[in-house]
Amino acid sequence: MKHALIAALLGTSTLFASAPAFAQAKPEDVIKYRQGLYQVVGWQNRTMGSMVKGQAPFDAAEFSRAAEIVSLMAAVAPGAFAPGSDKGAPTRAKPEIWSDAAGFKKAMDTFQAESAKLAQIAKGAKDVDAVRSQYGALVKSCGACHDNFRTK
């Protein structure tokens, strides 16, 4: 199931990667895409988090794969907040995403940078200590966005 959702998101990411495609998409479709994207991020974060917390054995290949998926999702995430996608379906996106575009862009840029850095570090990681600090930086970037741009 996870892999099917990832494949579906990756297959549609080119559709949603461009502004003209979003202009033609229904707001509810953009919201569903956004929610699916973040569901994938959440699944991958749980996989990595369980390893970092010692709840699961560290598997370098699995951690690296999860980090790469999060980085890929981060790359397409900004496009999932198209103008007009603040309504049309239930969403926890706060209006500040659109009213504080500069602040939201900064949060997205941080998410992208931290996830890309984690994916790079994870490629050569031999143990959990090699990724622990950068995983913490990624989680912090997620929390900062949730605190300011997502309702609880």
- Name the least confident of 15-19, 119-123, 124-128: 15-19
Instruction: Summarize pLDDT for 61-112 with one digit per residue, the tens.
Output: 999 999 999 999 999 999 999 999 999 999 999 999 999 999 999 999 999 9
Count CA atoms closer than 13 A to 145's CA, side-chain side. Answer: 24
Q: What is the pLDDT of residue 13?
A: 45
Residue 92 CA, chain-centre distance (Å), reads: 15
**Total domains present in the chain:** 1
Confidence check: pLDDT of 1 > 70: no
pLDDT at 14: 43
Model confidence, pTM? 0.86
Tens of pLDDT, residues 5-16: 444 444 444 444
pLDDT at 44 over 70: yes
Domain range enclosing 71: 2-149
Q: Is the pLDDT of residue 41 over 50?
A: yes
**CATH number of the domain where residue 52 is located:** 1.20.120.10
